[in-house]
Structure 1
Amino acid sequence: MQPTREQITGLLLAGGRGMRMGGVDKGLQPLHGEPLAAHVLKRLAPQTGALLISANRHPDTYAALGAPFHAAIVADTLAGFAGPLAGLLAGLRAASTAYLLSVPCDSPWLPIDLAVRLAHALDSNEADIATVATIDAHGEQSLHPVFALLRTELADDLAAFLDAGERKVRAWYARHRTVEVVFTDERAFYNANSLQELADLERNRGPG
């Protein structure tokens, strides 16, 4: 049966180092007068039940951003900044639902039907993970693995994967039944990895 909104916990991944932005906390950088993470939360919140924010820095600031959505703050349990899988594990452990929808903090235009489409694909393919792919004007496909709907029962397997020193998202996905859902609007998954890309976002209001 396709997961319902109430069966899905949303996870905003905001625990990175932001190295390509000079080490700033990427989710807190301003876009059109609000932090990037605030834009993402507004699009994510209507699609899920409970909400979590994975943050390793400035937890009080993120707690304030998440307060209108009753979001709880979780931090990585691995030492240092171990990458998105560490944040994903924290979310899988903290979620009280059967499913977790993860999104990055720097993609303010994520689709408003992301959860529904991933849930449909996960159910119809009897998959463990549903993630996102886009196709550009030249027919080239790109994978966006941190946008994903996962079964929370995968937490122990992910913990073992990380304990073995592994860090690559796609390598962990390959261990499980994973389906890629193709979205045609690349702009919806545009993310700001640098100050220049953030400036590009500032000049463009993006999808409605």
Structure 2
Amino acid sequence: MVETFFHALKTDGLQPDVHAYNALINVYCQMGYMVKAYELTDMMMRDGVSPDVATYNGLMHGLIKRGFILESRELFDELVRRGFSPDKFTYTNIIHGCSKQAKFEEAYLIWCTMSEHGTKPDVVTCSALLSGLCKAKRTHEASLLFQRMLNIGLEPDLILYNTLICGFCGEGNVDEAFNLLSMMAKHGVLPDNSTCQSLIYGLEKKGIENPIESAALKLDQIFCAI
């Protein structure tokens, strides 16, 4: 339907603007039609419509989603060369891509330079890096980044808490998971099913008998006390 409306514009003699092009480019990227997305980007420029940051973000997201990390980084570099200021979505994309390739030092460096380009890191950007670290079982580094995130005034959401809890429980480190649960309770962030499942897995890994019952009891102790 998006294609139909887009081509109807051109048939009626109307020139699509950058937002119309971006809408269809994003559809192609979400569906994995990267060749079509690039063809449309070329058409866009032939029509005298300049790509903007949102165009690059859509293309980068599509590439990263399909494992073309190097190509996404090249797009990021091109965006900067053209004088655009990357926004938080750009940074989140490229940090996520670096993390998928376990290039955590590079991802962390990019995260640190966000403020220099006038973009404040947010919880979603941090989650992209934390998730990669936890999946790689580098929870100590994830903890340090989490602390730095707290120090600059960011407030974790449930997704970020779950990412860390899952990481710690995956290593059987339920004590750190309990500390995060207490922090959640203090800030009014309630657990969900993912939180519970991670905790049960962590207790199982630690060799606790009746992990489901133990997890329910611990959650009750922490969250009923607030």
Q: TM-score range, shorter-chain basis?
A: under 0.3
Max Rg structure: 2
| Larger helix proportion of the pair | 2
| Larger strand proportion of the pair | 1
Query: What's the TM-score once normalised by structure 2's chain length?
Result: 0.24
